[in-house]
Chains A and B, each alone.
Chain A
Amino acid sequence: MNRDNLKSKNESESSPEKTRKGISRRGFLKGAGMTTVGTVALQSGVLGNTLDEQSLDEKAIGPDAELIKLKVNGESHSLAVEPRMTLASALRDKLQLTGTKVVCDRGACSACTVWIDGKPVNSCLTLAVEVQEKEITTIEGIGTPEKLHPVQEAFIEHDATQCGFCTPGMIMTASHFLQNHPNPDLEEVKTALRGNLCRCGTHPNVFKATLSASKKM
Chain B
Amino acid sequence: MEKKKLILPHGIPGHNLGEIEREVPASEPPAWPVNDKLKEVGKSVKRYDALAKVTGQAKYTADIQLPGMLYAKFFRSDTPHANIRSIDISKAEDYPGVYGIHLMKTDDGNYPVVKYAGQPLGGVAASSLAIAEEAIKLIEVDYEYLDFVVDVEEAQHPEAPIVHKEKIASQTDGGDVGVTHDGTQANGNVVGPSTGSFFGGPRGDLEQGFKEADVIVEHVYRTQVHTHLPLETHGVVVDWKPGNMVVYASSQNTAAMRDELADYFDISKGEVRVISEYTGGGFGAKHSAGVYGPMAATLSKKTGRPVWLMLDRKEEHISMGNRPNSIQYLKIGAKKDGKLTAIQQRSHGTAGVGLGAGVGRIAQVLYECPNFATEQYDVYTHAGPGAAWRAPGNVQGAYGVEQAIDEIADKLGINPLAYRDVIDKSDIRKVERQRGAEKFGWSRRKAPGSDSGPVKKGMGMAQSTWPRFVTLDSTAEVRIMRGGAVEIRSSVQDIGTGTKTVLGQVVAEEFGIPTEDVSVLIGDTYFPTGPGSGGSVATGSITPPARNAAYKVKMELLEQIAAKWESDLSNLVMEEGKIVDKTDDSKSVSFKDALKGMRTSQIIATASRSDDYGGFQQPWGLAHGDLGSVQFAEVTVDTETGFVKVDKIVAAHSCGRPLNPAQVESQINGGVIQGLAYALYEYRVMDKQTGFMINANVDQYKLPYAMEIPEIESIIIEDYSGTSSTDAYGIGEPANIATAVAIANAVYNAIGVRIYEIPITPDKILKALNKI
Contact = CB atoms under 8 A, between A and B. Distances in A.
A199 B229 contact: yes
A104 B698 contact: yes
A98 B553 CA distance: 39
Given A99-B56, A101-B231, A156-B54, A163 B666 contact: no
Nearest to B231: A165
A166 interface: yes
A45 to B, nearest CB: 23
Tell me whether chain A's interface is mostly helix, strand or loop, or mixed: loop
B281 interface: yes
B51 interface: yes
Interface in A40-76: none
Interface string A175-199: 0000000000000011101111111
A202 B670 contact: yes
Contacts of A106: 313, 697-699
B55 A99 contact: yes
The residue among A84, A92, A164, A193 with the most chain B CB atoms within 10 A of its own CB is: A164
B706 A162 contact: no
A194 B669 CA distance: 17
The residue among B229, B231, B312, B707 with the most chain A CB atoms within 10 A of its own CB is: B231
A164 B58 contact: yes
A142 to B, nearest CB: 9
B667 interface: yes
Interface residues of B, number: 54
Contact of A201 (B49, B130, B671): B671
The residue among A99, A105, A144, A193 with the most chain B CB atoms within 10 A of its own CB is: A99
A166 B51 CA distance: 14
The residue among A140, A159, A193, A198 with the most chain B CB atoms within 10 A of its own CB is: A159
A205 interface: yes
Nearest to B56: A99
A96 B699 contact: no
A143 B231 CA distance: 23
A87 to B, nearest CB: 15
B536 to A, nearest CB: 15
A103 B56 contact: no
B77 interface: no
Interface in B58-81: 58-60, 62-63, 65
B670 A197 contact: no
A99 B51 CA distance: 12
A88 B674 CA distance: 28
B389 to A, nearest CB: 12
A119 interface: no
Contacts of A82: 130
B706 A190 contact: yes
B65 A96 contact: yes
B50 interface: yes
B278 interface: yes
B706 A138 contact: no
B47 interface: yes
B662 interface: yes
A165 B705 contact: no
Given A145-B51, A163-B279, A201 B699 contact: no
B666 A162 contact: yes
A100 interface: yes
A108 B697 contact: yes
B232 interface: yes
B709 A109 contact: no
B577 to A, nearest CB: 24
B215 interface: no
A204 B496 CA distance: 16
Contact of B698 (A159, A163, A197, A202): A197
Contacts of B671: 201
A28 interface: no
A25 interface: no
A99 B313 CA distance: 19
Contacts of B703: 197, 199
A168 interface: yes
B707 A190 contact: yes
Contacts of B667: 162
Contacts of B370: none
A159 B44 contact: yes
A197 B705 contact: yes
A161 B54 contact: yes
Given A106-B697, A196-B705, A162 B496 contact: yes
B50 A163 contact: no
B55 A139 contact: yes
Interface in B278-299: 278-281, 283
Nearest to A93: B65
Given A162-B667, A163-B232, A194-B706, 11 more contacts: A103-B232, A105-B313, A106-B313, A106-B698, A108-B698, A139-B56, A162-B497, A201-B674, A203-B669, A203-B706, A204-B712
19 contacts: A2-B699, A92-B63, A93-B65, A98-B63, A101-B280, A102-B62, A104-B313, A144-B55, A152-B55, A157-B46, A159-B662, A162-B670, A167-B54, A168-B56, A190-B706, A191-B707, A193-B706, A198-B231, A206-B706
Interface of A: 2-3, 82, 84, 92-93, 96-106, 108-109, 111, 138-140, 143-145, 148, 152, 155-157, 159, 161-168, 171, 189-191, 193-207
Q: Which 9 A-B pairs give the minimum distances between C-beta atoms?
A: A99-B56, A163-B496, A201-B673, A201-B670, A164-B53, A165-B280, A139-B56, A98-B63, A104-B698
